[in-house]
Amino acid sequence: MDLATFLVQCLNAVQYGLLLFLVASGLTLIFGIMGVINLAHGSFYMLGAYLAFALAPLFGDWFVTRLAVGVLLAFAFGYLLEWVFFSFLYERDHLQQVLMTYALILVFEESRSLLVGNDVHGVAAPSWLAGGFELGGLMQYPWYRVFSSVACIVVALALYAVVNRTRLGMMIRAGASNRDMVRGLGVDIRLLYRIVFAGGVALAALAGMIAAPLSSVYPGMGGSVLIICFVVVVIGGIGSITGALVASLLVGFVDTFGKVFFAEWSGVGVYLLMAVVLVWRPEGLMKRGI
Amino acid sequence: MRLIPTCLSAATALLVAGTSFGVAAQSTSGPVKVGLMLPYTGTFAALGNAIENGFKLYVQEQGGKLGGREIEYVKLDDESQPPKATENVNKLIKRDNVDVLVGTVHSGVALAMAKAAKDNDTLLIIPNAGADAITGPMCAPNIVRSSFSNWQPGYAMGVVAGKKGVKKAMTITWNYAAGAESVKGFAEALEKSGGKVTKELNLPFPNVEFQALLTEIAAQKPDAVYAFFAGGGAVKFVKDYAAAGLNKTIPLYGPGFLTDGTLQAQGEAAQGMLTTLHYADNLDTPKNNAFRKAYAIAYKSNADVYAVQGYDAAQLLGAGLKAVNGDLKKRDQLTKAMHSVTIDSPRGKFKLSAAGNPVQDIFLREAKGENNEFVSIAVKALADPARGCKL
């Protein structure tokens, strides 16, 4: 492998890792702060992708507006879902959480089948992001992939700022370490959780919307994303945003170079990485708490 | 300890009773029970429905009877789940006492069905699943297929690529049986014309992160790439390939599944792509035109290759039943008739090989708009080599 190819592969790894981070950050927020194992997280990713498909004809090239509307809809949906279902789960044990969120997966998949059908659909990238640029005389690199990476970095920075620099972020961090104490200080913890949950759903949906033009939308697309996201969350340390970012990039590199060098075993690489990290640091790379 | 022998003998008695009942069901009068074991939910639901529609269309055209017998359907959703396959197929055979099994789409499920059909000597017609083994090492007189073997379209594309002067090709597919078999067929034909597959790329099913492998292709610069993907994976691969600009310098070939039912989603990226399959959307033959018209009237949707395979499954059963006047006990005559009849399919006329797989023309097609249009016959009357079959 020459240097140009190597650099392109590094770019591929970073780009894949950043997209993974966007989905996994929502999962680690919900899992780490609220203690809910949310198997339906992949469905929120699918929801985002189908939202992108449904909203595309309405907004045309107003791509950023489309993303904003989709995020708002997903946030509202998450808010409602927490109120109706998840708010009853905090005191229950993990088995019941797994059962209910698994049931939600089935409900979402069936609703998708009824509403949109089982066909594969393409979502066009906006015309101002069409095309690509030459890369090392090897291949074209689509502008849209660059955009998706930049968008992921922006979201990562925004997330960091909100959690570490705002009053809301402070309450979230406090709620994660001691729920009862925060309530004792007069913070409406139920509302706080509702916002965190809705935010997690919105993040997953945003990832789905950004990924839609790259991956197209199809039945069962949430399932594979869910598994790799749990791997990221476990490697990074449950509840840690920084950990999720580091783990996503690690997974991106292992997956990309595993495919190139060990084609037959590429499916194993990521899980081997998880096993090694768990033996070395059972808590994940970063400790709990953001 | 006496309990165990008692239980055993009771069970045996039940089994014997069940078997004799089974024989009684296979009489010469009353309806023929057809067990439709197809995917009615999940990714392949649309395919399962098309197969059932095609099957029922032929039966309706014959006045609801095949070989003078009414047809009764028992439907079962196989969910494309291999772990549940054996239990499901045994439900149809042992509980519902079906006379004929028809199914399915997923190769893993079909392999379990073939095993059960062999063990119970039940007639099985496979309307899609292309696993080579079914008409290879597992072949049996009572198992026939109305679709294709994975080897067939792959081999035909290898012939086409060879004629186009491809010397150095790369292949890419998911790391599973169907992909491996398809790639093998392609490599076999390419080698016959002096070409070679220099590298086989694969990734775990159903992973769709292709970028690393596309970079690998760009770095190696082969004359052509042969890809086997289906559904969402096919859409994403074809789009990523075009977005990387590779389609301008390295032609992308594949079996028909790469562009079948996915052209709307693939859009511009798939236009002009060449694929091989035993059916093309615009075959202008009287039989195909009549079939597509009848299908559109009956189901208010366009027929596809899966509907054709369902239709031909019913034709095969019809030919068998006709030869014995609906007498299912004359099994040998029935299966012999299925193997010797010439089926007038919408895809063109074909016969079954001794192993039970269609000997059929494989077409070269080009993606234009939302249709895979006929270009030429890639290989005439291509027979699967049926390796490992002793029939």
- Asked if residue B272 and residue B156 are part of one domain, the reply reads yes
| Range of lowest pLDDT (A130-139, A198-207, B78-87, B366-375) | A130-139
For A259, the closest of B212, B218, B234 (CB atoms) is B212
Q: Which two three-digit tokens encode residue A51?
A: 């939202």
Reported confidence tier of residue B210, pLDDT bands at 50, 70, 90: very high
Residue B287: which residues within 8 A CB-CB, separation 6 or more?
Answer: B344, B345, B346, B348
Does residue B32 sit in helix, strand or coil? Answer: strand
Residue A51 scores a pLDDT above 90: yes
The predicted model gives B55-84 an average pLDDT of 94
Mean pLDDT for chain B? 90
Cis omega (within 30 of 0) on the bond before A282? no
Answer yes or no: is pLDDT of A264 > 80.
no
> Please, how many CA atoms are within 13 Å of residue B237, restricted to the half-sphere of its CB?
29
What's the whole-number mean pLDDT along residues A260-286? Answer: 87
Q: How far is B383 from chain A (nearest CA, A)?
A: 31
Q: Chain A within 8 Å of B201 (Cβ-Cβ)?
A: yes
Taking an 8 Å cut-off on Cβ atoms, the answer to whether B203 and A259 are in contact is yes
Which residue is closest to A221 within chain B, CA to CA? B232
Domain span at residue B204 reads 151-277
What span, in angstroms and rounded, lies between the C-alpha atoms of A78 and A34? 14
Residues of A in contact with B200 (CB under 8 A): 263
Query: ipTM above 0.90?
Result: no
The reply to whether residue B262 touches residue A12, judged by beta carbons under 8 angstroms, is no
Q: Are A162 and B273 a contacting pair, CB within 8 Å?
A: no
Facing A216 at nearest CB: one of B42, B202, B265: B265
Closest alpha carbon within chain B to A2: B219
* B46 at interface of A, judged by CB pairs closer than 8 A: yes
Banded model confidence at residue A140, pLDDT cuts 50, 70, 90: confident
Q: What is the mean pLDDT of residues A224-238?
A: 90
Residue B352 belongs to some domain of the structure? yes
Residue closest to A238 by CA, chosen among A16, A27, A19: A27
Q: Report pTM.
A: 0.85
Per-residue confidence (pLDDT) for residue A230, from 0 to 100: 92
Query: Do B204 and B308 belong to one domain?
Result: no
User: In this structure, are B259 and B156 located in the same domain?
Assistant: yes
A111 close to B (CB below 8 A)? no
User: Are B246 and B233 in the same domain?
Assistant: yes
Q: Residue A263: list chain B partners with CB under 8 A.
A: 200-203
Cβ pair A259:B42 closer than 8 A: no
Contact B218 A257 (CB under 8 A): no
Q: What is the pLDDT of residues B340-376, one digit of tens each?
A: 999 999 999 999 999 999 999 999 999 999 899 999 9
Mean pLDDT of B139-158: 96
Residue B3 lies in a domain: no
Chain A contact for B213 (CB, 8 A cutoff): yes
| Confidence check: pLDDT of B29 > 50 | yes
In a domain, B2, yes or no: no
User: Strand, coil or helix: what is B373?
Assistant: strand
Q: Are B29 and B126 in the same domain? A: yes
- Confidence class of residue B9 from pLDDT cuts 50, 70 and 90? very low
What pLDDT sits at residue B28? 65
B204 touches chain A (CB under 8 A): yes
The Cα B372–Cα B112 span in angstroms is 32
Predicted pLDDT of residue B4: 46
Do B158 and B50 sit in the same domain of this protein? Answer: no
* Chain A residues touching B264 at Cβ < 8 A: 119, 121-122
Average of per-residue pLDDT across B40-61? 90
- Do B116 and B218 lie in one domain? The reply is no
Cα B202 vs. chain centroid, distance in angstroms? 22
Residues in Cβ contact with A227 at an 8 Å cutoff, skipping those fewer than 6 apart: none
Per the model's pLDDT, the better-predicted residue between A16 and A216 turns out to be A16
> In which band, very low, low, confident or very high, does the pLDDT at A247 lie, cut at 50, 70 and 90?
very high
Q: Determine if the peptide bond prior to B6 is cis (ω within 30°).
A: no
Please, what is the Cα angle at B225 between B219 and B230, to 5 degrees?
120
In this prediction, residues A91-116 reach a mean pLDDT of 90
Touching check for B301 and chain A: CB below 8 Å?
A: no
- Residue B239 covered by a domain: yes
C-alpha distances in angstroms, A114 versus A107, A111, A135, B81?
11, 5, 43, 21
Of B277, B305, B325, the one marking the end of a domain is: B277
Q: Does B364 touch chain A (CB under 8 A)?
A: no
The pLDDT tens digits of the residues spanning B289-345 come to: 999 999 999 999 889 999 999 999 999 999 999 999 999 999 999 999 999 999 999
- Rounded to the nearest 10 degrees, what angle do helices A3-34 and A143-165 cross at? 40
Tell the burial category of A185 from Cβ atoms under 10 Å away from its Cβ (0-12, 13-18, 19+). Answer: exposed
Q: Domain boundary at B215, B245, B277, which?
A: B277
Q: What would the pLDDT profile of B220-238 be if each residue is shown by its tens digit?
A: 999 999 999 988 889 999 9
Task: Provide the domain count of chain B.
Answer: 2
Are residues B72 and B92 located together in one domain of the fold?
Answer: yes
B362 belongs to a structural domain: no
Same domain, B252 and B289: no
For chain A, what is the mean pLDDT? 89
Cα separation of the two ends of chain B: 47
Measure the CA–CA gap between B38 and A114, rounded to whole angstroms.
19
Quick: pLDDT tens for B249-259: 999 999 999 99
pLDDT-based confidence at residue B22 (cuts at 50, 70, 90): very low
* Residue B243 to residue A132, Cβ atoms within 8 A: yes
From the candidates B215, B221, B263, which should be mutated to test the interface with A, based on the most A CB atoms within 10 A?
B215
Cβ contacts of residue B329 below 8 Å, gap of 6+?
A: B26, B27, B28
Q: Kindly state the average pLDDT of the residues B15-35.
A: 60
Query: CATH number of the domain that B263 lies in?
Result: 3.40.50.2300
- At B187 the pLDDT is 97
Of A65-69, A138-142, B355-359, which gets the smallest average pLDDT? A138-142
Q: Could you tell me which residue, B255 or A33, shows the higher pLDDT?
A: B255
Contact predicate B363/B305, CB 8 Å? no
Res B17 pLDDT > 60: no
Model confidence at A245, pLDDT cuts 50, 70, 90, reads very high
Torsion over CA: A241, A247, A248, A250 (sign): positive
| Pair (B191, B336) in one structural domain | no
B119-141 confidence digits (pLDDT tens) = 999 999 999 999 999 999 999 99
Q: How far apart are CA B228 and CA B362, in angstroms?
A: 16
**Interface test mutation site (partner B, options A12, A46, A120, A134, max chain B beta carbons within 10 A):** A120
Mean pLDDT of the region B84-108? 94
Phi-psi sector, B328: left (phi>0), alpha (psi -120 to 50), beta: alpha
In a shared domain, residues B114 and B174: no
Rounded average pLDDT over A32-47: 90
Q: Kindly compute the dihedral angle of the four CA atoms of residues B109, B112, B114, B120, in this order, to the nearest 10 degrees.
A: -140
Asked if residue B146 has pLDDT above 60, the reply is yes
> CB-based contact (8 Å) between B77 and chain A?
no
Same domain, residue pair B50 and B72: yes
B-chain CB neighbours of A16 within 8 Å are 209, 211
Q: Judged by CB atoms within 8 Å, which residues 153-192 of B form the interface with A?
A: 175
Cβ count near B5 (within 10 Å): 9
Q: What is the pLDDT of residue A288?
A: 56
Q: Which residues pair with B35 in a beta bridge?
A: B74, B101
Mean pLDDT in residue range A55-82: 92
Domain limit, last residue, from B230, B247, B277: B277
Residues A86-115, mean pLDDT to the nearest whole number = 90
pLDDT value at residue B261: 81
User: pLDDT at residue B20 above 80?
Assistant: no
